[in-house]
Structure 1
Amino acid sequence: MSKLLVVFGATGQQGRSVIDAVLEDPELSKEYSVRAITRDPTRAAALNLQSRGVEVIKGDVDDPKSLPVALAQAHTVFIVTITVYDDHLKSREFRQTRDVADTAVAAGAQYIIYSSCVAAESLWGRPVTAFDSKAASEAYIRTLPVKSAFFLPGMFMQNYLTNQMPQPLSQEGDETTYAIASFISPDAPMPLIETVKDGGKYVGAILANPDKYAGSMFFAATAMYSYREIAEIITRVTGKKTIYTQIPLEQWVSYLPPGSGKAMTEMMRWVESPGCFGPQSKEKVDLTVQQVKTKLTTFEEFVAAHDIV
């Protein structure tokens, strides 16, 4: 009998990628059956999962009463929470993760895979609320009587299709120059991951060898890229001139949603130094890449596949 893998956030980028990785792998698809948890089973993405043979159940991390049904008979559980940059970020994510993890253990689950972040404040003394919120949840999961492993995604390539999409800066004749803007150094290396295509590949490596990776942290990214390199790649691949513009912090904050400035600033300052995954970020990424047996997506390939500018 196959093991039941329960995936939270099943219609989001990370959850969907995990499901794809299992369904598309000849061995994993035999070893695991998949249950997708979503707040709205009637939405198109959920119906698509059903059409592929996935069990879809209504569940909500903010509704503890929905969790026992969602987690009944689970063997392995993938947990991801959505970061909302407000004053309740840390308490909300901890509560959501605790409720799911406790219910999973009560249901007899044997393994939890959690989408986490580095523990910036406890390990290195610098608070980064958006990271520490997940790190606190990870620490809690590690106290439970269940095996666990941790998937730490880098910066999403998908951000360059949304909030970091290059914007028109100037026009000279027929040529438009596009710009990516932030306040950090143009040469600060950042780990980039193609979340939708590749996120599940890392989780799939854990699922394929859960005992080996119990307790492990997967620092997930294809490679490190600076803003300068990102702009150069977009220019080279698209033929449209793109530059990185380093702007004052106050100007950058003014572009953010109200109430998110402090948490976002903490995060980007941390990404600049010591690095998204803390000291030795590149070495951590390189070691994690070696654990994945399938090809990962480069930023060049991502740009070529999407309409970025």
Structure 2
Amino acid sequence: MSKLITVFGATGQQGGSVIRTILQDASLSQDFKIRGITRDISKPAAQALAQQGVEIKAADMSSKESLAEALKGSHSVFLVTTPDWGNAGSDAELVHGKNVADAAKETGVQHLIFSSLLNVTEASGGKLTHVPHFDHKAKVEQYIRSIGVPATFVLPGYFMANYTVSGILRKGDDGVYNLAYPVGRDAQFPLVDIASDMGKYVATALKSRSDVLGSQILAAADYYSPSHILAEFEEVTGKKTQFVQVDSDTYKSFIPGPMGEEMLENHLFIENPGYYNGKSLKESNDLLKKHGYQPTSWREFLEKSKASL
């Protein structure tokens, strides 16, 4: 009999990737039925999933009762929480994550796979204290561990789409693409094609549950420096680039309000002590390959994306 996996953020980048990967995987699609959780079950993306056989449900992340109902009967759960961007001091993401953990405990979930990150405040020795979208996820992970829910933690890297969709790589009036960072050109960014690859790492966790319970899986293809990122961008697209290292105040001025401080410290963290605190990606990617998956390289991502640049 098929087990049930409930996927939060079903129409988002991470949850959507998980659902697509399971549906396309011969063994997982037999092993699991999918329930997708989304805020608006009427939107076209949700309806498209329903047409593929995904059960679609809405849930209130602030209500443990609503979440317990959403998780009822689930063997496995994929959880991604959403930052309360720009709302300084909000702990909504932390509360939502803990609520799902409590509901998972109550309903007897056998495998909670959480999209986590490191605690920047702790990893930086208290020097960087304004990156709540990392810290809150780390605290949710800590809470999940503390209440004894069987869990695996998949830590996504720096999104490749940040460069092509979010506008970090900006085309100037002269046609040159500029990359401005408050870190040096040799800083190490662990890049991931989140829409394609998050599902691969979660699928790997599902296939090797007994081996990865309690573990962190680092979801990134490789470490790339800004120099490497721009060199491959030029090779694939034929477009010129320029790297500009800016001071902290200038970088913050690009993004007004609390978000500016958060993005600044997020990037300073990447340079020191490092996005994954210096950990190698080899073990995680070896596990991925063991189960027949390959991470998408930056060059491969660019080949797919260059028509839209």
Deviates more, 1:62-71 or 1:147-156: 62-71
Do the aligned residues in 2 keep the contact of 1:153 with 1:220 (CA within 8 Å)?
yes
**Aligned partners of 2:256 and 2:282: how far apart in 1?**
34
Give yes or no for the alignment of 1:33 onto 2:27.
no
Q: Where does residue 235 of structure 1 map in the other structure?
A: 234
Deviations 1:25-84 (A, max 9, x none): 111111111100001011111111111111101113234442122111111111111123
Give yes or no for the alignment of 1:168 onto 2:171.
yes
Instruction: Report deviation, 1:257.
Output: 4.3
Unaligned runs of 5+ in 1: none
**Aligned partners of 1:59 and 1:111: how far apart in 2?**
19
Q: Where does residue 10 of structure 1 map in the other structure?
A: 10
- Relative distance call for 1:46 and 1:110 in structure 2 (3 A) is same
Do the aligned residues in 2 keep the contact of 1:19 with 1:200 (CA within 8 Å)?
yes
- Relative distance call for 1:257 and 1:66 in structure 2 (3 A) is farther
Deviations 1:138-171 (A, max 9, x none): 0000012321010000000111123334223352
SS in structure 2 at match of 1:45: helix
Give yes or no for the alignment of 1:87 onto 2:83.
no
Identity among equivalent positions (%) equals 36
Q: How many residues align?
A: 301
Instruction: Report deviation, 1:296.
Output: 1.4
1:1-309 superposed matches below 5 A: 1-85=1-85, 86-89=87-90, 91-126=91-126, 127=129, 128-171=131-174, 176-278=175-277, 280-281=278-279, 283=280, 285-293=281-289, 294-306=293-305, 307=307, 309=309
Instruction: Report deviation, 1:255.
Output: 1.5
SS in structure 1 at match of 2:288: coil
- Relative distance call for 1:249 and 1:288 in structure 2 (3 A) is same
- Relative distance call for 1:8 and 1:50 in structure 2 (3 A) is same
SS in structure 2 at match of 1:274: helix
Deviations 1:177-221 (A, max 9, x none): 121112111110110000011111001001011111000101110
TM-score by length of 2: 0.92
Deviates more, 1:54-63 or 1:287-296: 54-63
Unaligned runs of 5+ in 2: none
**Aligned partners of 2:193 and 2:103: how far apart in 1?**
31
- Relative distance call for 1:34 and 1:117 in structure 2 (3 A) is same
**Aligned partners of 1:83 and 1:162: how far apart in 2?**
19
Deviates more, 1:37-46 or 1:253-262: 253-262
**Aligned partners of 2:199 and 2:112: how far apart in 1?**
15
Deviations 1:206-259 (A, max 9, x none): 101111100010111000111111111111100011122112222211111422
TM-score by length of 1: 0.92
- Relative distance call for 1:271 and 1:123 in structure 2 (3 A) is closer
Do the aligned residues in 2 keep the contact of 1:129 with 1:266 (CA within 8 Å)?
no
**Amino acid across the alignment from 1:300:** R
SS in structure 2 at match of 1:47: helix
SS in structure 1 at match of 2:147: coil
Do the aligned residues in 1 keep the contact of 2:123 with 2:273 (CA within 8 Å)?
no
Instruction: Report deviation, 1:260.
Output: 1.2
